[in-house]
Amino acid sequence: MTPTRSTLRIYDSAAREVRDFVPLVAGKASLYVCGLTVQSEPHVGHVRSGVNFDVLQRWLRHSGYETTFIRNVTDIDDKIVAKSEAAGRAWYEHAQIMHRELSKAYAALNVAPPTYEPLATGHIPEMLELIELLIERGHAYAAADGSGDVYFDVRSWKAYGELTGQAVEDMEAAADADPRGKRDPRDFALWKGAKPTEPATASWPSPWGRGRPGWHIECSAMAGKYLGPAFDIHGGGLDLRFPHHENEQAQSRAAGKPFAAYWMHNAWITTAGEKMSKSLGNSLTIPSVLQRFRGIELRYYLVSAHYRSHVEFSFDALEEAAVGFQRIEGFLARASAALGADQGWLATMPPEFTDAMNDDLGTPGAVAVLFDRVREGNTALAGNDTASVQRILGEVTLMLDVLGLNPADEAWGAPAGGDEKLHHAVDVLVKSLIDQRAAAREAKDWAAADAIRDQLKEAGVEIADSPSGPTWSVN
RNA sequence: GGUGGGUUGGCCGAGAGGCGAGGCAACGGACUGCAAAUCCGUGUACACGGGUUCAAAUCCCGUACCCACCUCCA
């Protein structure tokens, strides 16, 4: 085995190239990811970003970086207000219900919690502070129309457009946007004055009257609060590049903060060639997908594609992924059974896996290494090569842990005590049938033997003959 | 109009000048009483048209189609 010499390289979407990851502080990594606006049930697309950045978090930690990971939740915005009204409940109740759904979805996919998950509504003072600083520095202004709005002055910040490589002159002004008191149609709201039609609870006091934050300011304020004026990586979905991330960066830099050193954006999951948020229906919400597939299978499906590749979602593809993953689980089960308590603690991460992951989180290549090891492990198992099985099981487990795909991880909901008892009862019953079948086979009464196997299969119990005798499993 | 991305075998999905990632499916073989699982083997894939090169899926030019963003968006 050749030791790996690679270091982490990531595609920086601001530079539009793969760059070596050099943290601001040696040995540490700081990461900010735009989480979701909790306005409706999370679907597969929403959760992709959670899974992708969870893999990044795990890989950074595995690589030895002391990692601070902040992933926010936007719990106040126009859509939340509108949807809560439609649902007939308060905006904060609606936001919290959806937030709980999101947390459940993350948990079901073994998305590890970030270091901290700040809420926009919990950071109004920090946002006000930042807005005042921008006004002082001449990059923001309170609207002259008395609306209580405060806008960022795009023309005052010559670097505006740098993140997405656009010239201000080429940007279309929002067709739908109400220009209100804007000096330039491209100026964006830092603070939105309260309107009489909106719930009174959705506004906070400010120097410009009651109101609520604009969308972008929260991330600048929260990233600044928890990670400092400069931090390593900012992540989010591709659609956030503009305007959200462009505005975050403009506002932060205009306030004198260097902000993110690297930008990472995950690509889409589409359905029928369309962005998921446009396709309606609820068949793709996490709870409904989880009725058909296990969380670990869905996670495997997401992890097996590169985070910057578009994924065309289909249940057929998910089904294939699930079958592939079961191959890994089959090896784990056989290897564990063969080794008993004597499992491999001494394993080291395969260098090919490390190289793949260091190459801009090349999870597809990493998964290929995983399958290579599984095949080797199966061969070792067939040859009763216990030492190799032990080593390979250890390697496979390490790789799965980093990808968040270890079936033994308690996050997947290990069976509780009650299940143990049930398992024992079933085991005794099935074993007696297996004995009967063995007797029939001894007598070369194949019809009787197959009848028992079929009967068990009918009940969902699969019998597999192995050199060390038959085993059973429920599928 | 501006900006960015894509098109790879039956399917999913990597790669980025020479050597066919990997998975699923299919077919053949081994093992098995028969299966299942597992292992071994089998594929002349890179949207199209030109060009550069000893060598192109990969670089260049052009064409087609698809997608995203341009102040609601993972």
Closest nt to residue A323, judged CA to C1': B24
Per-residue pLDDT, A342: 66
Establish whether domains A19-275 and A326-412 are of one fold: no
Q: Is A63 exposed, middle or buried (0-12, 13-18, 19+ CB in 10 A)?
A: middle
Q: Which residues of A235-263 are buried (b: 16+ CB within 10 A; e: fewer)?
A: bbbbebbebbbbbbbbbbbbbebebbbbb
* ipTM associated with this complex: 0.91
Q: Is A384 helix (H, G, I), strand (E, B) or coil?
A: coil
Select from A65, A93, A66, A67 the least CA-distant residue to A80. A93
CB A153 within 8 A of CB A140: yes
CATH 1.10.357.140 fits A326-412, yes or no: no
d(CA A68, CA A47): 20
The β-bridge partners of A275 are: A270
Per-residue pLDDT, A181: 78
Distance in Å, residue A351 CA to nucleotide B73 C1': 39
Question: Hey, what are A232's tokens?
Answer: 């390593």
Using only C-alpha atoms, chain A has a radius of gyration, in whole angstroms, of: 27
Per-residue pLDDT, A174: 52
Per-residue pLDDT, A139: 95
Which amino acid is residue A136, in one-letter code?
E
Segments in chain A below pLDDT 70 = 1-5, 172-180, 272-283, 341-345, 414-418, 467, 475
Per-residue pLDDT, A167: 82
Which tens digit of pLDDT belongs to each residue from A358-386? 989 999 999 999 999 999 999 999 888 98
Nucleotides of chain B within 7 Å of a protein C-beta?
Answer: 1-6, 11-15, 21-25, 32-40, 66-74
Question: Hey, what are A299's tokens?
Answer: 């996670």
**Beta strands A269-271 and A311-312, pairing class:** parallel
Domain range A19-275, CATH architecture: 3-Layer(aba) Sandwich (3.40)
Which tens digit of pLDDT belongs to each residue from A57-74? 999 999 999 999 999 999
Closest nt to residue A236, judged CA to C1': B74
Taking the domains of chain A in order of start, what are their residue ranges?
19-275, 326-412, 417-474
